[in-house]
Chains A and B, each alone.
Chain A
């Protein structure tokens, strides 16, 4: 049975872990604080708009619930891609990575639909405190999903050239860490922004 976390072909390092993986975890720790700042700012400011539209008038839970399901599914396909390459199934890994990228793009499409609807209803970055903090928060999250899709694209390109093997699949693990983290951020955003609003 293969190890599910061991980095491969690791250079000897002071901490005994791969520096690239260490870097990704440090980056994630900083991102936790980055998104906390945005989320808390949203919580504080959303109730302080002096003019509408107000969040309870314009936010749509059903659409976003579908988007949440899409992003949760993409985390599953991502972890399945890692699992596949650990079993030595390079073809399966590529398929699951493609599925993850497609789900990421679907999420972004859903967000584009949501934003378009919100713009039509008069909410924007400059409409009021709600709009400013909402679009900053969800926009930055969407940008992270977009970066994740690009990152998956780079890993896929490498995988198609045979650069990702059962003995050397750290690239998949690292993009997976980032992707799951972005999923976690959405889990919190979905609850705090969409469900706790009324």
Chain B
């Protein structure tokens, strides 16, 4: 059943996205390993958009399930390529 919801704070989400992006760019200027910091930041941004801008947090579970099928398929592709070609990011990322 569809229910009534308060709207998410779209401006707060936007500000969070901008701050996270700025943090990502800043990290590239610091002497720290990039991969373990940047990937979680990037995924956080993607999750913010999908939950609040695409409303999956509030919408029918069916849509979340469909989206997750795509994400699991994506994970399968990533794992397959990693097994086929070796850890993909390590050859160029120090």
The prevalent SS among residues of B at the interface is helix
Interface residues of A in 4-40 (CB under 8 A from B): 4-6, 15-17, 21-22, 25-26, 28-33, 36-37, 40
Contact of A75 among B24, B34, B53, B69 (CB under 8 A): B53
Is A51 at the interface (CB under 8 A from chain B)?
no
Query: In the complex the two chains form, is B10's CB within 8 Å of A26's CB?
Result: no
Q: Which residues of chain B are near A80, meaning CB under 8 Å?
A: 10
Q: B32: which A residues are within 8 A, CB to CB?
A: none
A72 to B94, CA, bound (A): 28
Chain B residues with a Cβ under 8 A of chain A: 2-8, 10-11, 13-14, 17-18, 21, 24-25, 27-28, 34-35, 38-39, 41-42, 45-46, 49-50, 52-55, 58-60, 62-63, 66-67, 69-71, 73-74, 77-78, 81, 85, 88-89, 91-94
Q: Is the CB of B70 within 8 A of A33?
A: yes
Asked whether, in the complex, the Cβ of B38 is within 8 Å of the Cβ of A191, the reply is yes
B78 to chain A, nearest CB (A): 6
Within the complex, what minimum Cβ distance (angstroms) separates B28 from chain A? 5
Q: Is A160 engaged at the interface, CB distance under 8 Å to the other chain?
A: no
Chain A: interface residue total (CB-CB under 8 A): 54
Complex: A1 Cα to B5 Cα, angstroms = 8
Chain A 171-198: CB-based contact to B (< 8 A → 1; otherwise 0):
0000011001101100110111001111
Residues of A within 8 A of B73 (CB): 29, 32-33, 36
Binds B, one of A42-50, A106-114, A119-127: A42-50
Complex alpha-carbon distance, A22 and B69, angstroms: 14
- In the complex, chain A residues whose CB is within 8 Å of the CB of B4: 1, 3
